[in-house]
Amino acid sequence: MLLEYNAARPFHVIGGISDKEAELLRNARGSSAKVALVYLWINEFMTREHIHGSMGTVAAPIISRLMQYASDGHMYYNSARKMAYIPFPFPHVQLTTAFIFSTIFVVPLLMLAKTNVYFGFVLNFLVVSILTGLNEIAKELQNPFTNVPNDLPLNLFQAHFNEALVTIFSGFHPDAYWELKESA
C-alpha cells in the first residue's frame, strides 16, 4: 500500500538523477539508508562547490550555517521518523478511553444528585483507579528498554543506523570530487 502511495506521488529532482545515483539508491537497503546517502551527497556537494569557489566570496561561517541547516533537517527527519514508528503506549490509550466513558456517566450523575455515601464510594474508587493507572503508565514510560511489546524497537533503530553507516562508507557520490584510490 505504501509503495503504491509513493509511486503515485513521485519526488521530482531538479536536474534529474544520473544512472549511477539511481543505482546506488536502489542498492541502499532501507529508506533511512537512502536518506542518509542523499544527505551525504548534499554535504559533499556543498563542500565541493565551496572548495571550487563557485559560491563566490561567501565566508566560511555562512557555509557552516548551510551545513548546520542540512544537519538540522536530517535530525528533524530522524525525529519525525521515530514519532511515526514508535506506537503510543497501549495501556495509556485504553485507560484514557475508559476514563472518557466513565466521565460520560459520572458527570451527569454529579449534576443530578449531590454526593452521598454510595456515590462517595464510587468517586473514591474512580480517583484511586485513575491514580493507579497513571502510575502504571509512568512505570511503563520510565523504563523503555525492556522487551515487552509497548517498548522502543531498539533493534530496528540499530539496524537502520547500521544500514546508514554501511551506505555512507560504501556509497560515495558517483561524481565525487575526491578520487578514491583502490587498495593494492
**Cβ neighbours for 99, distance < 8 A, ≥ 6 positions apart:** 130, 133
> Between these two residues, 141 and 22, which has the higher pLDDT value?
22
For the cut 50, the answer to whether the pLDDT of residue 151 exceeds it is yes
- 12-48, pLDDT tens digit by residue? 666 678 899 889 888 888 778 888 998 999 899 888 8
pTM higher than the cut 0.75 = no
- 153-184, pLDDT tens digit by residue? 767 777 787 777 777 666 566 665 555 555 54
Under the banding of pLDDT at 50, 70 and 90, the label for residue 7 is low
Mean pLDDT of the 138-157 span: 67
Mean pLDDT of the 143-159 span: 68
Please work out, in degrees rounded to the nearest 5, the angle formed at the alpha carbon of residue 86 by the alpha carbons of 82 and 92. 140
State the residue for C-alpha cell 593494492.
Answer: 184
> Between these two residues, 151 and 39, which has the higher pLDDT value?
39
Domain ranges of the chain: 2-86+153-170, 90-142
- 75-101, pLDDT tens digit by residue? 988 888 887 777 777 787 788 778 877
Under the banding of pLDDT at 50, 70 and 90, the label for residue 134 is confident
Give DSSP secondary structure letters for the chain.
-HHHHHHHS--PPTT---HHHHHHHHHS-SHHHHHHHHHHHHHHHHHHHHHHTTT-S--HHHHHHHHHHHHHHHHHHHHHHHHHHSPPPHHHHHHHHHHHHHHHHHHHHHHHS---HHHHHHHHHHHHHHHHHHHHHHHHHH-TTSSSTTS--HHHHHHHHHHHHHHHHH---TT-SSPPPPP-
